[in-house]
Structure 1
Amino acid sequence: MSAPQFLQIYHHDADHVAQELLQGLMAPQALTSPKYLYDSLGSRLFEAITELPEYDLTRTEARVMQQHCADMASHLPADACWIDLGAGNCEKASHLLGPMAARRYVAVDISVDFVRAALEGLQRQHPGLAMMGLGTDFSGGLHLPADLKLDPTQPRVLFYPGSSIGNFTPDQAVGFLRSLHTACGTARHSGLLIGVDLVKDVAELEAAYDDALGVTAAFNLNLLLHINRLVGSNFAVRDWRHLSRFNAERSRVEMHLQARQALRVQWPGGERLFEAGETIHTENACKWALPGFDALLREAGFTATRAWTDPATRFAVFWASA
């Protein structure tokens, strides 16, 4: 049986992280990157969110993959190298590698430690499949290092499930998708398999990001504790409330943290005064219509798109040829 290989490229730069966070906190509309929601506790809280009755995105995507697996296999290349972006526990890819006749699997996450145990377990399920864990931060665009030693003649399937593309604004999404198009390489039949959450009833969308149990609120508020550790600030969770709302003009759910009263937040060398009701914008979740996302893929350089949906057209999985 082959053994997974591991390559760690990203290395934590505390000064760069602090600079990025403080620049966002000092902006006229304070904001942070959604990647900072995912510290150890935040990641576990998000796993709990996917089990909530209000948040059916993950379950619906899984049903689409299961129901349309055979048809997907007829459109995707066999013997391909699968590159799983934000692989985490590798569960979503694990159900597809066999039916899609993958020849190689690369699990990409910010840290190989996040994927190590999952990849070792997956290797036991697929003993003949070459596997590698790649630790890199691809939030600013995907760059595949030469050390991966990818075969330029082997087709690539870039796999980006979970509708994480919704965290990008449309302009940002185009730039990110262009980097994925480049990462597909030059081999024929390569492309992108991507999950996309679709526009639906506003009340349903807002409930999905503000559940009755308050798990999403805890997920959002935990960001403040993470920021405190990263920049030495003195955010107090009790001073803030979770706020979720659908921005119809931009077709996105926005998550904010709202100050309960006027307060002063300090960190070494700086501070900011927040007025009562002022917010920190922590995440976007853009929702798409099928024609709009198809156009976005084509603007990024992809062609011959194909989409599969659930019967109620709540979620889509797109295949886009490079």
Structure 2
Amino acid sequence: MAVTEALRIVDEDETGINNAFRDDVLRGLSEAQKAVPARWFYDERGSELFEQITQVEEYYPTRAETEILKKRGEEFRTAIGKGRAVVEFGSGSSVKTPLLLSAIDPAAYVPIDISGDFLCAAADQLSAKFPHLPVHPVEADFTRPVTMPTAIASMARLGFFPGSTIGNMVPRTAVDMLRDMRATLEDGSPEDTPPMLLIGMDRIKDAAILEAAYDDAAGVTAAFNLNLVTRINRELDGTIPENALKHRAIWNDEVARVEMHLEATRDIAFTVCERRFTMAKGETIHTENSHKYSRRSATALLLASGWSPITCWTDSDKRFMVMLAEASALRSAP
């Protein structure tokens, strides 16, 4: 079955600049601790680099999550059931998504991604592997409520959010996004079948393992981090000197997260959208968080977001977990 034309929900100005990207960058570079939200890593090149990261020796999350998806297929099928529309928040990889689709026999597949080119390529790959599965790609920012294709209006939904991307958000933002995901999945869905969510979360572990996973010896993660600067320079008329910035990955134990930064190796001045910025040597742009969870903290996060955990699976080394949850009935009191 052919892939339908991508539904495009992107806010652009008359010159084609993504307004949300521009606003986030200008706001973030103006703050005392400069920062850019991690979702803007994923232009086409950034998405390609992240796929490379998943293959490096130090980066265990993809291998661990893939192990769970390979070994627990029958359990997924029993817990989730057949015939749901799988709505994936972020274009599926060539490895993990087919494992889930094969296990649960879905009625349709809806990948949502902010990178249109990568989205279409991923949708085409999935359609080739599952020629009888309707595929309805949506180009949009999945951190906000997204209008679902009318083709899945009568279908029960399963949200799929693999890869521990939830860890990129601070708790407040993570709760907001999980609530928005619930709203997206409930958009036009059958009232008698609550949406479900299958989500990957990385677990807390030794700091050395965590820092190595985000600063691989081959430098792929460093290239991924610096590609954000390349994108800013290309799309927002930036003049940031890439050769004056270096990649850093730091474990912050107090808040249980790995932080990625771009650190200035000398004093620099640059413009973005004709606005001038400066950075002193040693100053950083905070580009990503990767929060790590215990089973208890993951459960608390889901409950705060309107999701009731059903079950949890871990890999053989207990480094990673995949949790299944169902949209909670709204309550007026504890």
Q: TM-score, normalised by structure 1?
A: 0.92
Contact 1:89-1:114 at 8 Å conserved across structures:
no
Deviation at residue 179 of structure 1 after TM alignment: 1.3
Indicate which of 285, 303, 306 corresponds to 1:280: 285
The separation in 2 between residues aligned to 1:11 and 1:292, in whole angstroms, is 34
Structure 1: segments with no counterpart, 5+ residues: none
Matched, 1:308 2:313: yes
Structure 2: segments with no counterpart, 5+ residues: 328-334
Question: Which SS does the other structure have where 1:245 is aligned?
Answer: strand
Alignment of 1:143-292 (within 5 A): 143-145=146-148, 147-152=149-154, 154-185=155-186, 186-292=191-297
Compute the RMSD of aligned alpha carbons.
1.9
Query: Deviation digits for residues 162-209 of structure 1, max 9, x if unmatched?
Result: 111011101111111111222332342531001111111001100111
Question: Which SS does the other structure have where 1:107 is aligned?
Answer: strand
Q: Which residue of structure 1 lines up, in the alignment, with residue 331 of structure 2?
A: none
The separation in 2 between residues aligned to 1:26 and 1:210, in whole angstroms, is 27
Deviation at residue 89 of structure 1 after TM alignment: 4.5
- Paired positions, count: 318
Question: Which SS does the other structure have where 1:211 is aligned?
Answer: coil
Contact 2:50-2:224 at 8 Å conserved across structures:
yes
Contact 2:145-2:184 at 8 Å conserved across structures:
yes
The separation in 2 between residues aligned to 1:158 and 1:102, in whole angstroms, is 12
Contact 2:91-2:112 at 8 Å conserved across structures:
yes
Change (3 A) 1:265 1:120: closer
Over the matched positions of the two proteins, sequence identity in percent amounts to 36
- What one-letter code is carried by the residue in structure 2 that aligns with 1:210? D
Q: Which residue of structure 2 lines up, in the alignment, with residue 142 of structure 1?
A: 145
Change (3 A) 1:242 1:151: same
Deviation at residue 219 of structure 1 after TM alignment: 1.4
The separation in 2 between residues aligned to 1:19 and 1:295, in whole angstroms, is 32
Q: Which residue of structure 2 lines up, in the alignment, with residue 73 of structure 1?
A: 77
Contact 1:8-1:111 at 8 Å conserved across structures:
no
The separation in 1 between residues aligned to 2:18 and 2:179, in whole angstroms, is 29
Alignment of 1:23-172 (within 5 A): 23-89=27-93, 91-139=95-143, 141-145=144-148, 147-152=149-154, 154-172=155-173
The separation in 2 between residues aligned to 1:175 and 1:308, in whole angstroms, is 24
- What one-letter code is carried by the residue in structure 2 that aligns with 1:110? I
Query: Deviation digits for residues 261-308 of structure 1, max 9, x if unmatched?
Result: 222223454212211111100111111111110111111111242100
Q: TM-score, normalised by structure 2?
A: 0.89
Contact 2:36-2:285 at 8 Å conserved across structures:
yes
The separation in 2 between residues aligned to 1:243 and 1:11, in whole angstroms, is 32
The separation in 2 between residues aligned to 1:30 and 1:127, in whole angstroms, is 46
Q: Which residue of structure 1 lines up, in the alignment, with residue 3 of structure 2?
A: 4
Deviation at residue 311 of structure 1 after TM alignment: 2.3
